Amino acid sequence: MNTYAEYSKTFRWIAVVLLSGLVAGCGGDGGSGGATGAQAGVLGVSLTDAPACGFDEVNVTVSRVRVHQSDSAGENSAGWNDITLNPPRTINLLNLNDPTQPNFALDNLGETSLAAGHYTQVRLVLADNHGNQPTANWIVLTADPTKTPVPLETPSAIRSGVKLINQFSVAGGQRVDLLLDFDACKSIVQRGNGTYALKPVIKVIPYVLNGIDGFVDQGLLGSHVVVTAQVNGQIVRATTANTNLAPNPNRGKFFLARLPEGVNYDVVITADGHAAAVISGVPVVSSTSITTISTSTTPFSLSASPVQNINGTVTLNPATDEEAVFVAAKQVLNGGPTVTVKTLVATPLPSVQPGDFSFTLALPTGAPAVASYGPLPILPSATGQSGVADLYTVQASAAGYTAQSLSNVHTGTTQNFTLIP
């Protein structure tokens, strides 16, 4: 296992740091309601992201970060501690988790003092677009050859800040760090009329640099490699492999960072045109440990596989086009865990009433290769998994609706869902 220090220069952070009044400001304006002297503590807040689905860029503009000691405090209540970015800072979220970046440099958004005490409300305030110009928040679609910026419509709630579920205490003279995970994929809603809306999905995760790392064979790098850390088939963290051209000792490397400690994870590696590989029971034992599961000399390779589709529709009842619909394909491994092989955002059907979506899951028909965590090299094998080949559980879900699953689904079929609250 490696340590935090070995990776301290390999990740890019967008940091919002609330510090005692002894630290000189840089980046953003000092916030309101701060404290100085013996009563001041230190709070660090950083922004990161998971890989997005179908976007080359997801740009958001941060105008303020706000914290308060009362969970019921309103936008105009007294007692807010603010970092105000002047001018507001535009950030491409996909740069925050891009393994092809040679240096993930610290980008400080601002500093302010913070009184010691218990805080129950954190808000991230984004600027809103004006008119149809993508001046504040916009995306670039992977499928668009012109790479034209597409504005994101921003709801009025963003003007008062996205409320995050987290409580923390700051002691005088001490520091607390929070990391805000902005899920770009789940935060973008495509509507039936062709427009896109921003509905931020942000969670607070441990501010650590532990995780799981390894290498995939460089021959896979043109096939959209995705590596995920999962628990019971639920994706906890996702990343891609480093694709920087040689000479680059980290070409093909992946790093699943900032994982809850004391948990064993199933690492799932997928690539277009290949059967999945699963390494089960990978431990992350502490907030600083990094578990290596393969090296550049023995990288993971995936077996080529035919690919066929599972098509279908999802209907939301009651109907709405204000929520994103997600469809996942899972496999129940023989003698092993259930894992998610692929997940996507369903597409709203044009010229159909809101609430109707379609999806196409392109899935390998070959059996997955499986291995348990142990001494290197770890060599996943499809032995014993023939009964799993071309057999999936398909799940559809949307915020505010009950998820629905269909088991024993083969490729080449059509599966339709109706979701209700």
Question: From CA 67, how far away is CA 51, in angstroms rounded?
Answer: 27
Q: How far, in Å, are 89, 117, 214, 223 from residue 294 at the CA level?
A: 38, 44, 5, 19
Here the tokens at position 414 are 């059509």
pLDDT at 223: 94
Q: Is the entire prediction scored with pTM above 0.85?
A: no
The one-letter code for the residue type at 239 is T
CA 410 to chain centre: 29
Confidence grade of residue 231 (pLDDT, cut at 50, 70, 90): very high
Task: Give me 63's structure tokens.
Answer: 């105008």
For the stretch 107-156, pLDDT in tens is 556 666 778 899 999 888 888 876 555 678 999 988 889 999 999 888 77
Query: What domains lie within the chain, and their CATH numbers?
Result: 6-205 (no CATH), 211-292 (2.60.40), 307-365+385-419 (2.60.40.1120)
Average of pLDDT values for 12-41?
42
The C-alpha R_g of the chain, in whole angstroms, comes to 22
Give percent of the chain above pLDDT 90.
45
Determine the pLDDT at residue 62.
Answer: 86
Length of the chain: 421
At residue 210, does pLDDT exceed 60?
Answer: yes
| Among 308, 331, 334, CA closest to 386 | 334
pLDDT of residue 160: 80
Average pLDDT of the segment spanning 337-366:
90
Instruction: Decide: 310 and 392 in contact? Cβ < 8 Å.
Output: yes
**Which residue in the block uniquely carries the two structure tokens 């869902």?**
417
- Using 50, 70 and 90 to split pLDDT, how confident is the model at 12? very low
Lowest mean pLDDT among 10-19, 20-29, 48-57: 20-29
Q: Decide if pLDDT at 356 tops 80.
A: yes
**Average pLDDT value over all residues in the chain:** 82
CB-hemisphere CA count at 13 Å for 297? 2
Structural contact between residues 210 and 257, judged by C-beta atoms closer than 8 angstroms: yes
Count of CB atoms situated within 10 Å of the CB of 375: 5
pLDDT tens digit sequence for 371-407 = 999 999 999 999 999 999 999 999 999 999 999 999 9
